[in-house]
Amino acid sequence: MLTGVDLTSWGADLPGTPQLGNLVQRILRLVPELPLLRISSIDAIEMDEALLEAMAEPRLAPYLHLSLQHGDNLILKRMKRRHNREEAIALTQRLRDLRPEIALGADIIAGFPTETEAHFENSLRLIEECGLSFLHAFPYSPRPGTPAAKMPQLAKPLVKERAARLRAAGEAALIRHFDRHLGEVREALIERGTAARLPDFTQVKLGSQAGEGGRTVPVRITGHDGKQLLGTPLS
């Protein structure tokens, strides 16, 4: 796994300022015995062309977690984000064109200062419009000294209520994602005991232990419990 606080800024301090996509392609080329490379959370607007090209490589995990933060353009501007909702939707569509099996996650904040109900509804719609499977939903909380802390704040009960609605929408998206896997036979990476994970980062609880952590086994997906898939090891 490649991970970092601001992963897409990798290379800015190196000669020639290579981008993250250059690193990913180089790893895949120079380490042919590596079965799977996974990328952690990235800033969507900073995805370079080399990284997009690499997404078509089968050994790059079909999973990305995007820092989207909101679904309304005005709120995104007030957050000082560098992308708009149209760019987010276009990027996720391009990713699905490159890897139809890709699973996408995102961070979205509810209750940012000045957020109206219409602004919030745009965030709810973004979940489906971007085809998200995994959602990290957060209630906004002010940080002293930040520009947002000086903006008109929403009432805390309203922020809490919107965050709950956002989490509910995320749970529904996760169920839809689980349903797409039912009946499939997929390779799963054993993490420990009966805990495993598919290449698209989906958690699977195995009906029995299938070996030591780090081993991949074929698994038939038999169901889910609302939080993870359930599967039967086939070897």
**pLDDT of 211 strictly over 80:** no
Which helix (DSSP H) or strand (DSSP E) does residue 131 occupy?
none
Calpha distance 160→140 (Å, rounded): 9
**What is the residue extent of each domain of the chain?**
7-181, 185-233
Reported as a pLDDT band with limits 50, 70 and 90, residue 214 is confident
Spatial separation of the C-alpha atoms in residues 159 and 111, rounded to whole Å: 5
Give 4-58 pLDDT, tens digit per residue.
Answer: 888 998 999 999 999 999 999 999 999 999 999 999 889 878 889 999 999 999 9
Question: Is pLDDT above 80 for 189?
Answer: yes
At the topology level, CATH places domain 7-181 in pyruvate-formate lyase- activating enzyme (3.80.30)
**What is the model's pLDDT at position 110?**
98
> How far is it, in rounded angstroms, from Cα 33 to Cα 207?
29
pLDDT of residue 102: 96
Q: Which of 70, 138, 64 is nearest to 101 (CA)?
A: 64
Q: What is the pLDDT of residues 119-146, one digit of tens each?
A: 999 999 999 999 999 999 999 999 999 9
What's the pTM value of the predicted model, to 2 decimals? 0.93
CB 231 within 8 A of CB 205: yes
Mean pLDDT of the chain: 94
The residues that bridge with 219 in the sheet, in sequence order, are 186, 233
Residue that has been written with the tokens 């090209």 in this structure = 53
Residue type, 156: K
List the structure tokens of 114.
């000045």
Report the top-level CATH class of 185-233: mainly beta
Of 26, 14, 15, 83, the closest CA to residue 50 belongs to 26
